[in-house]
Chain A
Amino acid sequence: MRSSVAERPRLEEQLTLLELVDRVLNKGVVVTGDITLSVAGVDLVYVGLRVLLASASTLDRLAQEPKAKAAA
């Protein structure tokens, strides 16, 4: 399911990554570690979104390519 880093990710993998980032950054039990990125004044929700938004142009490009699998 995971591509090697050298390969350009396909749209489907991008969506899986989005799912993943959404869960890993925004869900799960919150603990206060010695270093907890979210307490440093930046909400991880927005960090994750910002990073993904920055790559939205990549997503657009991928979306316009013919999909390998027929979308429903």
Chain B
Amino acid sequence: MSGWYVFGVADAGLAVELEGLRLVRAGQLAAVVAPVDPDEFTEEQLNDRPWLEEKVLAHEDVLSRYLREGPVVPLRFGAIYRQLDEVVELLGERRDELTEDLERVRGRVELGVKGWVDRGRLEETLARKRAMSPTSAPGRAYLERRQAERDVAAEASALLADVARSVHARLAELAVAAVANRPQPPELTGRAEQMFLNTAYLVPAADEALRREVGTLDEQHRELGLSFETTGPWPPYNFVGREEP
């Protein structure tokens, strides 16, 4: 059984057929496809990590190569059609939406920003700032210390929420569009620091302003135990698709 895997949609006027790939054209749109064995794409396979890694990397690789030549609208992983005619139909049925997406991302790329916190260091810093006063009675001192710890933890959480909000707002000013995603849990990141900001920005392709600003923010917050980093440029995964699924 044969099938066609659809990676994304490019500008028919700019895109060329790269090695191992085909373009399915309909008006201004060109779907980037490759022949696949649909039987290989099963739910079980999704739990096979090396397989998933390979396919996910291939998906990204194809989109990145097309991104160099012109705008590209990424499709979500795993869209497979039996017939090329059906891909033509897809482009026809979703033409307005796909064209809108294509124009929105033209000449632009996605940058990812992550904010990390060394929670222990942040709380230490906050505790120092409070300049906890020593008390005489040992019993009271203990209770006060416990209370202070709780206060510091709450203060740290509030500060992180504030910083996340203000950093996102600041960076959004430098971007055409901005998206805040949920921070990834430590089980996934495998990092000692906790992720407290996970955002994406659509910026002009050659524009370094946002990356520079992230560097500045990183320096400004380091003393508190916070750090920021930029990833990408990515194909604009976060800035296509009409509705948030």
Interface residues of A in 18-71 (CB under 8 A from B): 18-31, 33-38, 40-42, 44, 47-56, 58-60, 62-63, 71
- Please state if B101 and A51 are interface contacts (CB–CB under 8 Å): no
The contact of B231 among A11, A16, A26, A30, by CB within 8 Å, is: A16
- Please state if A72 and B218 are interface contacts (CB–CB under 8 Å): yes
Is B76 an interface position by the 8 A CB rule?
Answer: yes
Interface size class of B (residues with CB under 8 A): 35 or more
On B, residues with C-beta under 8 Å from A are 3, 6, 8-9, 38, 41, 43, 46-50, 52-53, 56-57, 59-60, 73-82, 86, 90, 94, 97-98, 101, 112, 116, 181, 184, 187-193, 218, 222, 227, 229, 231, 234, 237-238, 240-241, 245
Contact A33-B6, Cβ < 8 Å, known A44-B76, A53-B188: yes
Residue of A whose beta carbon sits closest to that of B244: A27
Complex alpha-carbon distance, A49 and B94, angstroms? 29
Q: Is the interface of B mostly helix, strand, loop or mixed?
A: mixed
- Please state if B76 and A25 are interface contacts (CB–CB under 8 Å): yes
- Please state if A34 and B3 are interface contacts (CB–CB under 8 Å): yes
The contact of A29 among B57, B73, B229, by CB within 8 Å, is: B73
Contact A11-B238, Cβ < 8 Å, known A19-B231, A28-B77, A35-B41: no
Chain B residues, CB < 8 A from A40: 43
Residue of B whose beta carbon sits closest to that of A37: B78
Contact A24-B80, Cβ < 8 Å, known A18-B184, A42-B43, A44-B46: no
- Please state if B46 and A42 are interface contacts (CB–CB under 8 Å): yes
Chain B residues, CB < 8 A from A53: 187-188
Between-chain CB contacts (< 8 Å), 17 pairs: A14-B190, A15-B191, A20-B57, A23-B234, A24-B59, A24-B76, A25-B76, A27-B76, A33-B6, A35-B3, A44-B76, A51-B48, A51-B49, A51-B52, A54-B49, A59-B190, A60-B190
- Please state if B80 and A36 are interface contacts (CB–CB under 8 Å): yes
Contact A28-B8, Cβ < 8 Å, known A18-B184, A34-B3, A56-B188: yes
